[in-house]
Every structure is written in C-alpha cells, then in structure tokens.
Amino acid sequence: MRSVLAMPPTMYDDLWTAAKAMYKTEPAIADSGEVIIYAPHLREISYTHGKLIDQVGYHVRDYFTKQWERFKDVPGGVLAHSTHVKGLGTYDAESSVERPRIQVTLATSIPEDK
C-alpha cells in the first residue's frame, strides 16, 4: 500500500500510547509510502515524557545509534517511542542526512510547533 489512514481510538489520549497507529501499520506500507495518523482527539505528545521527546524529536533508529554519545543519557523508552513513530530508515552521520522509509503525517490537535 502507498498510503494508510490510521485512526487510533480515543482511549489513547496522547501520542505516546497512540503510536500503535504507526508501528502496527508500517509493515503494510510500501517504501516511500505514507501513514496518516488521524486522531483529532490527541492534544499531547506524552503526559509523562513530553519534555524529553520535545528535546530529542522523532527519528529513525540509526539517528540515535550513530550519535550514541549525544543520546546515551536519554531513557531507552523515550528513544524507542521516537523510533516507533518515525519508523524504519537510515541515517548517514557524515552528511547528517536522515532517510525515513516512509512518511508519517500527524492529523491531530497537537500544536504544529511541537
């Protein structure tokens, strides 16, 4: 599939728990495809870990592993969540170029600046 519209239920009230909408659909999406997480009820990234996620952002696994010294003090669960939402991909440390396998689009009530 090229595109998937994932609609996490309202019982997931932040992206931390609604991330299932991404990592459970990602295997069905073709390279360069897209998952749209449609969840207008989401207003928070994470009630518990939001400040840390704001600091590290959302990235592919290689982004963190190839810069381990920079991220070694960030809890593993936060890094895992970041990669679950971003999905598979590569990171070239020499050029600082990150290439996610697919695009993730959030259609939520989380402010764009977050």
For 58-67, how does the pLDDT look when each residue is reduced to its tens digit (9 = 90+)? 999 999 999 9
Residue 72, in any domain of the structure:
yes
Residue 65, in any domain of the structure:
yes
Number of domains into which the chain is organized = 1
Residue 15: domain span:
3-108
- Mean of per-residue pLDDT scores for the chain: 96
Residue 66 backbone phi and psi in degrees, to 5: -85, 0
Residue 3 has a CB neighbour count (10 Å cut-off) of 13
Check residue 70 and give its pLDDT. Answer: 96
Question: 27-50, pLDDT tens digit by residue?
Answer: 999 999 999 999 999 999 999 999
User: What CATH code is carried by the domain that includes residue 65?
Assistant: 3.90.226.30
Residue 14, in any domain of the structure:
yes
Residue 80, in any domain of the structure:
yes
The Cα 15–Cα 91 span in angstroms is: 24
pTM surpassing 0.85? yes
Question: 4-13, pLDDT tens digit by residue?
Answer: 999 999 999 9
